[in-house]
């Protein structure tokens, strides 16, 4: 069996250290040199010849995170690594998965092309904004499901028969239904209309939430406009409590302020993206064990789907 080495880009070091520890090893020795003009030159300080190399890096802003990742993949391939697996807990530009108006790019396809162009042999990611993004790749994609972490936490809350799940928009119905199915619960939908990106024009609830403990399910929270507006509307419709789970805590702009001032009991997120500030309403669950088990299964050629709920 080839030697396994886990490396990280600078943006995801906090997460990669936990993944490596859960896997039972330490991070490989790599460094990033930066020239005075900002140009980057990553360098491996140990041999990767013949090794199965896993490079962990989420591609949240700035765009340098993506470029650093691509340079690291290229460096590993040129250093004769046997295989290079890109571990991208948060896949940036995933919201640009189609042409929804004339003369726009399909950003998630551009990212897929970029990753493959530098020679990555495999991609591992989690809770893509749209599952069909996997089809943009001509290499194997391991699409991990965050419900493996969120479901046990929700069970620990003992919400019982009053539990009901809600999708904050029509696009998230499939994701929300999968949670409802696990708990044998009902679901409702918050139908929203947007004026423009990050701005909700109107919203209405399809379904009955009177006296229920509602859990909103989403793949990411950006400005928190949708999730907080949905929570407020659900409370107006008679919900006893409203909490939300979202894998990727993008949390840009006024997000933290909106969450603090919202009717949400809590927002449960993962550590695929680091929080910029603490919040009494935000609870972070680590996905490091999930990724460590997935890396182990890739190395031993065991099932990845066995990690799903």
**More confidently predicted of 14 and 170:** 14
Please state, rounded to an integer, the average pLDDT across all residues of the chain. 94
| Among 221, 216, 254, CA closest to 235 | 216
Across the beta sheet with 241-249, the strand order is: 199-206, 186-196, 163-167, 213-221, 241-249, 267-270, 282-285
Tokens for 48, please give them: 């990767």
Cα dist. 68→31, 55, 113, 164 in Å?
11, 11, 16, 42
55-80 pLDDT, tens digit per residue, is: 999 999 889 999 999 999 999 999 99
Q: Is 192 a residue of the active site?
A: yes
Copy the structure tokens of residue 284.
């972070």
Tokens (6 digits) for 60 = 């949240």
* Domains of the chain as residue ranges with CATH: 4-145+288-307 (3.40.50.2020), 147-285 (3.40.50.2020)
Q: Are strands 52-56 and 4-8 parallel, antiparallel or unpaired?
A: parallel
pLDDT band at 169 (very low <50, low <70, confident <90, very high): confident
Question: Tell me: the pLDDT tens digits for 187-205?
Answer: 999 987 766 665 656 788 8
| Cβ neighbours, 10 Å, residue 146 | 24
**DSSP, res 172:** G
Q: From the candidates 34, 77, 181, 192, which is the catalytic residue?
A: 192
pTM for the predicted model, two decimal places:
0.93
Give yes or no for a contact between 271 and 288, defined as CB atoms under 8 angstroms apart: yes
Cα distance between residue 59 and residue 111, in whole Å:
10
- 224 CB neighbour count, 10 Å cutoff: 27
């Amino acid at each position: 069996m080839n030697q396994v080495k886990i490396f990280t880009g600078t943006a995801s070091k906090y997460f990669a250290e936990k993944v490596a520890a859960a896997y039972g090893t330490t991070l490989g020795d790599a460094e990033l040199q930066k020239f005075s003009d900002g140009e980057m030159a990553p360098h491996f300080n140990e041999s990767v010849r013949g090794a199965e190399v896993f490079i962990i890096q989420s591609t949240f802003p700035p765009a340098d995170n993506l470029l650093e990742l691509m340079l690291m993949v290229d460096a590993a391939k040129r250093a004769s690594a046997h295989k290079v697996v890109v571990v991208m807990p948060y896949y940036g530009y995933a919201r640009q998965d189609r042409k929804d108006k004339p003369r726009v790019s399909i950003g998630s396809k551009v990212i897929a092309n970029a990753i493959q162009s530098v020679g990555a042999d495999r991609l591992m990611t989690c809770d893509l904004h749209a599952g069909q993004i996997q089809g943009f790749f001509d290499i194997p994609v391991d699409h991990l499901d965050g419900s493996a972490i969120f479901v046990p936490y929700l069970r620990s809350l003992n919400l019982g028969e009053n539990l009901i799940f809600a999708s904050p928009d029509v696009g998230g119905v499939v994701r929300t239904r999968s949670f409802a199915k696990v708990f044998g619960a009902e679901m409702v939908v918050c139908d929203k209309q947007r004026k423009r990106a990050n701005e909700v024009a109107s919203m209405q609830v399809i379904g009955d939430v009177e006296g229920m403990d509602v859990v909103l399910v989403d793949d990411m929270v950006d400005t928190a406009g949708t999730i907080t507006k949905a929570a407020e509307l659900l409370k107006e419709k008679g919900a006893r409590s409203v909490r939300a789970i979202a894998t990727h805590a993008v949390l840009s702009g006024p997000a933290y302020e909106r969450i603090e001032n919202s009717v949400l009991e809590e927002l449960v997120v993962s550590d695929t993206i680091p929080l910029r500030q603490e919040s009494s309403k935000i609870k972070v669950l680590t996905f490091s064990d999930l990724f460590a088990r997935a890396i182990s299964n890739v190395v031993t050629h065991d099932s990845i789907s066995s990690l799903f709920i």
